[in-house]
Amino acid sequence: MNKGHRFIALIGLLTLLLLTTLCGCEFIDSVLGKNSEQNRLPGGLNPQQSENKSEHSSGQSNENLGGSTDGSCEHELLWIEQIEPTCEEEGRLAHYYCSICESCFNEAIEPLYSIIAPSLGHAYGTLYDAKPSTFFEKGNVEYYHCFNCGRFFDKNLLYINDVTTDKISTELAIGINGQIKADFEIVEESSDRITWQISGLKVTAGDVVTVCLKNNTENAFEFSVEPNCNLNSQNNQIYKSAVSNVTLTATPNLMTISVDGYYSVGMIYYVGYASGQAESAMEKSQTENGEHLVTLTLSANDYIYVNAYEYDGVTEEYVNSYCALVNTSSQIAVEQSPFIKICESGTYTVIFNENTKTVTIVKV
């Protein structure tokens, strides 16, 4: 090479170095044919989608997430899907992630300095009041309900799995003086009414009556006392010793109890049957005329009588039988000692007067 050619080459090299200094590496890349415009974005970004959209580590500090946008990294970008935040845990923004420089970018290929989506926090709202359970509906404890995640919390903002309380059991018993005396039996039940009964319960004057769950006298139910029964509504005490029938009724808002007392201490009376069927107890009349009565459905040619027993509050002892018929139509019944013969089928009230020891039968 002669001196002229050397001088021209030297001038060209100096020119190249000067242009490189002024324009940067992009000038050389264009001269060498690297990174054509169709594969590049401003700032040297190359948003290649990865078929494997695996998540990158999010443990890096926020100040490093923006990464390099000065063209020093030919970014290889992976698209990372969003993770929704919850009430208690942070989420993650959707973004591009460079697997080379570990930088993060939004969809517009702008640097992100944080990819954290803050946790939402619980939206507790209003404290819901407790609702007591009944025999008919479940209740609930007092609670908060988060509108974001749907979870329940108690008044101390502690998580609870279920706020409902079970219906009250219908397996009830009657307590006498703090001790369970007998179990109630359900005789009627509907969506808004339940009736229980106990038959032949022996009670003594002054006994205190409670209603509770079977085998549990600690949690007694509140009840109202039906008027004109053998129970004092002020202190729930039995008025007089008797063998009583107890009726308990519950509706959604009220429980009532009735205790009869027609088997009073002293003389008690039954209607007996010649056929041998079980005797029917007679109730003492509310009037003070010595009458005892019972309403029965009888058939023609039934034979009945009245048996008298002496009752001491515990046991019954047979005394006598009676069949003296008075003030009764012969079409209804006739006296055929030691029985009374029913002449016509029907429903009748049989009345026994303990003073006169006579029987009267009246058609209902």
What pLDDT is recorded for position 37? 34
- pTM of the entire structure? 0.49
pLDDT in tens, 291-306: 989 999 999 999 999 9
Residue 5 is given by DSSP the state H
**CA dihedral in degrees (338, 344, 350, 355; nearest 10)?**
-50
Ranges 17-26, 89-98, 112-121: which has the least confidence: 17-26
Mean pLDDT, range 168-179, rounded to an integer: 93
Environment class of 276 (CB within 10 Å of its CB; exposed 0-12, middle 13-18, buried 19+): exposed
- Integer Cα distance of 91 and 117 in angstroms: 5
The alpha helices in 158-252, defined as continuous H runs, are none
Q: Which residue has the tokens 């404290």?
A: 127
Q: Apex CA 313: angle with CA 310 and CA 319, to 5°?
A: 10
Mean pLDDT, range 198-214, rounded to an integer: 89
What pLDDT is recorded for position 205? 82
Ranges 159-173, 207-221, 272-286: which has the least confidence: 272-286
pLDDT > 60? residue 135? yes
What pLDDT is recorded for position 145? 95
pLDDT > 90? residue 339? yes
Looking at the chain, the whole-number percentage of residues with pLDDT higher than 90 is: 58
What's the Cα-to-Cα distance from 53 to each of 79, 96, 354, 355, rounded to whole Å?
A: 6, 10, 101, 104
- Integer Cα distance of 45 and 107 in angstroms: 12
Q: Is the peptide bond before 338 cis (omega within 30 degrees of 0)?
A: yes
- Integer Cα distance of 101 and 94 in angstroms: 18
- Per-domain residue ranges for the chain? 3-32, 35-120, 122-168, 172-259, 265-363
Mean pLDDT, range 107-113, rounded to an integer: 93
Per-chain mean pLDDT for the chain: 82
pLDDT in tens, 239-273: 877 778 899 999 999 999 999 875 556 788 899 99
What pLDDT is recorded for position 338? 92
pLDDT band at 51 (very low <50, low <70, confident <90, very high): very low
pLDDT > 90? residue 87? yes
What pLDDT is recorded for position 42? 34
What pLDDT is recorded for position 34? 36
pLDDT band at 67 (very low <50, low <70, confident <90, very high): low
Pairing outcome for strands 224-225 and 254-259: parallel
What pLDDT is recorded for position 229? 87
Mean pLDDT, range 166-172, rounded to an integer: 94
Mean pLDDT, range 78-85, rounded to an integer: 95
What pLDDT is recorded for position 322? 95
Averaging pLDDT over each range in 140-149, 208-217, 263-272, 308-317, which range is the top one?
Answer: 140-149
Domain 265-363 indexed as CATH 2.160.10.10:
no
The amino acid at residue 154 is: D
Mean pLDDT, range 126-131, rounded to an integer: 94
Higher confidence at residue 9 or residue 236? 236
What six digits make up the tokens of 20? 């490189």
